[in-house]
């Protein structure tokens, strides 16, 4: 089924530019296309073919195309990944899972400007602080991430095209990593990323004295102790859970014995689940790319003309993936407890130590972005409209930031330090710094276009949340 979908996408992609597909595939507006079903809400039917004439060359110029197909995975691997993603057993105090902060019902984020760590209560989008700590950054979406080179807002997990990892754990890095058996099991940056949340005290691990993961002396020992919880030791004779032992063996039939499993297999399975469950690419925009000129309303097309044209959004959020996979400084207001100092987040520079990377963050791709607010690395903007308005004059948006849009949890955690604000403004990259004139109507059109990047299936995701997980720990809270 998936490979058939992929084939169709490729065939349709070959039809670009749209005009080259002739009348086939509905590219020519039908004469009766303007008839509105009186039972429908008054929608804006696509009526102006001149908009398509304007938009299509811009799309070609921007190399717009359906995203590359997701890697297919075996159902057994996906099932294991699903169990691990929702199981609080991966956290030190057994009180938080990946889904607590990346829940399907919150667009695979948590609906918060910055996340709430272990000790917090409930799952996204209803998470409460309780005894949890605020995490320094916004939880990004997990849509269509399988082929991305960089993970995290600062790209601190990276898998280069020749398969070398760069991560916060030296034992995984370089062409001959010390923990080679773990790296061998990690096929993507996404898989490598998935093994890091349990190493963060605030996110999942807990404080010294809390539990055996919190008391481990290094990452490799944390990861080994997670495997003890899952599959046990002595080839399953001691500890572990029978259900996980069976799930791991079914998912990885080539692995000889239980003691051969390591945290790399956990990462690979979680990534397989994310790549399968959260791979959604059938938005109205994607349908338009495939030749259905009626898929976008006139105003969404006007937004697209701005996005790929004068507003120059596609310079960074372009191509098939709607991201350049690079890092930029765009002057986003800093909200949250701070990562590098109180209230401060330096961005990419803390990974590379390169002065040019100050306040740079990864360009997120924008498919399904409407579902994953608040937006930006600090969750500074709580509406898409405000996120778009930022680009009119980024330096001014930074200086005149309206904190009243924030949740009370973070409203007093906006960095206003004059020196740091000046440095943030100074760092804004040239192209964005110039800003872009947008009327209120044009802002609204851009928002409509961004909303047209949502695959309706992302709203429901049936079957993605399991009823139970192997540990028996609660799933629905």
Using the rule CB under 6 A, which residue among 201, 224, 315, 420 binds ligand HEC?
A: 315
With binding defined as CB under 6 A, does residue 153 bind ligand HEC? yes
Chain residues 248-287 in contact with ligand HEC, contact rule CB under 6 A: 270
With binding defined as CB under 6 A, does residue 166 bind ligand HEC? no
**Least CB distance from residue 98 to ligand HEC, whole Å?**
3
| Candidate ranges 8-16, 47-55, 99-107, 401-409; the one touching ligand HEC (CB under 6 A) | 99-107
With binding defined as CB under 6 A, does residue 428 bind ligand HEC? no
Cα–Cα dist 244/223, whole Å = 16
Segment (H or E) for 6: helix 2-14
Q: Residue 364: name the closest of 55, 199, 138 by CA.
A: 138
Whose Cβ is closer to ligand HEC: residue 159's or residue 317's?
317
| Token reading at 446 | 């851009």
- Per-residue burial over 29-59, b if 16 or more Cβ lie within 10 Å, else e, is beeeeeeeeeeeeeeebbeeeebbebbbebb
Using the rule CB under 6 A, which residue among 27, 82, 144, 193 binds ligand HEC?
A: 193
Using the rule CB under 6 A, which residue among 375, 382, 389, 453 binds ligand HEC?
A: 375
Q: Are 195 and 263 in contact (CB under 8 A)?
A: yes
Using the rule CB under 6 A, which residue among 142, 268, 351, 464 binds ligand HEC?
A: 142
| Strand order from edge to edge, sheet including 157-159 | 150-151, 157-159, 165-166
With binding defined as CB under 6 A, does residue 76 bind ligand HEC? no
3-class secondary-structure state, position 171: helix
Segment (H or E) for 165: strand 165-166
Whose Cβ is closer to ligand HEC: residue 120's or residue 291's?
120
Using the rule CB under 6 A, which residue among 56, 391, 394, 442 binds ligand HEC?
A: 391
Q: What are the distances in angstroms from CA 19 to CA 15, 284, 307? A: 8, 18, 20
| Candidate ranges 171-179, 293-301, 370-378, 395-403; the one touching ligand HEC (CB under 6 A) | 370-378
Cα–Cα dist 56/357, whole Å = 35
3-class secondary-structure state, position 303: helix
With binding defined as CB under 6 A, does residue 421 bind ligand HEC? no
With binding defined as CB under 6 A, does residue 122 bind ligand HEC? no
Whose Cβ is closer to ligand HEC: residue 252's or residue 391's?
391
Going by C-beta distance under 8 Å and a sequence separation of 6 or more, which residues neighbour residue 398? 331, 332, 333, 421, 424, 425, 428
Going by C-beta distance under 8 Å and a sequence separation of 6 or more, which residues neighbour residue 120? 96, 100, 127, 128, 129, 130, 131, 132
| Candidate ranges 178-186, 223-231, 280-288, 429-437; the one touching ligand HEC (CB under 6 A) | 429-437
Whose Cβ is closer to ligand HEC: residue 33's or residue 420's?
420
Binding site for ligand HEC (CB under 6 A): 90, 96, 98, 100-102, 115, 117, 135, 137, 139-140, 142, 145, 151-153, 190, 193-194, 197-198, 203-204, 270, 311-313, 315-317, 328, 330, 332, 361, 363-364, 366, 369, 372, 375-377, 387-388, 391, 429, 431-432, 436, 446, 450
């Amino acid at each position: 089924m998936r490979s058939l979908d992929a084939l169709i996408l490729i065939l349709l992609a070959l039809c670009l530019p749209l005009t080259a597909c002739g009348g086939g595939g509905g590219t020519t507006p039908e004469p009766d296309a303007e008839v509105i079903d009186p039972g429908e809400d008054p929608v804006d039917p696509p009526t102006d073919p001149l908009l398509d004439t304007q938009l299509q060359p811009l799309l070609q110029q921007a190399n717009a195309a359906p995203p590359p197909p997701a890697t297919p995975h075996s159902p057994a691997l996906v099932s294991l990944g699903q169990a691990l993603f929702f199981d609080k057993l991966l956290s030190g105090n057994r009180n938080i899972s990946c889904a607590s902060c990346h829940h399907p019902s919150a667009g695979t984020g948590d609906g918060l400007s910055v996340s709430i760590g272990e000790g917090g209560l409930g799952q996204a989008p209803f998470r409460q602080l309780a005894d949890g700590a605020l995490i320094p950054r916004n939880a990004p979406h997990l849509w269509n991430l399988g082929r991305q080179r960089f993970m995290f807002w600062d790209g601190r997990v990276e898998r280069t095209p020749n398969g070398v990892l760069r991560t916060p754990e030296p034992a995984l890095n370089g062409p001959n990593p010390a923990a080679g058996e773990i790296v061998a099991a990690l096929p993507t940056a996404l898989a490598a990323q998935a093994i890091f949340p349990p190493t963060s005290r605030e996110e999942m691990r807990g404080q010294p004295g809390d539990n055996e993961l919190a008391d481990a002396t290094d990452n490799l020992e944390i990861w080994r102790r997670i495997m003890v919880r899952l599959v046990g030791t002595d080839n399953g004779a001691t500890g572990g859970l029978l259900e996980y032992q069976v799930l791991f063996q079914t998912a990885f039939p080539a692995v000889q014995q239980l003691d051969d499993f390591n945290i790399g297999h956990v990462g690979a399975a979680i990534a397989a689940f994310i790549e399968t469950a959260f791979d959604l690419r059938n938005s109205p925009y994607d349908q338009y790319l495939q030749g259905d000129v009626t898929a976008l309303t006139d105003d969404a097309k006007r937004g697209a003309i701005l996005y790929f044209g004068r507003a120059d959004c596609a310079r960074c959020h372009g191509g098939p993936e709607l991201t350049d996979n690079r890092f930029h400084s765009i002057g986003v207001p800093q909200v949250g407890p701070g990562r590098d100092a109180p209230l401060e987040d330096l961005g990419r520079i803390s990974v590379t130590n390169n002065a040019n990377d100050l306040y740079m963050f990864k360009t997120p791709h924008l498919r399904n972005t409407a579902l994953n607010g608040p937006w930006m690395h600090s969750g500074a903007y709580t509406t898409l409209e405000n996120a778009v308005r930022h680009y009119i004059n980024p330096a001014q948006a930074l200086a005149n930031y309206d904190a009243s849009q924030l949740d009370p949890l973070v409203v007093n955690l906006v960095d206003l330090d004059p020196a740091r604000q000046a440095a943030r403004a100074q760092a804004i990259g040239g192209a964005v710094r110039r800003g872009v004139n947008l009327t209120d109507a044009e802002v609204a059109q851009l928002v409509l276009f961004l909303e047209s990047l949502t695959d309706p299936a992302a709203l429901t995701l049936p079957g993605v949340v399991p009823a139970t997980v192997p540990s028996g720990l609660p799933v629905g809270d």
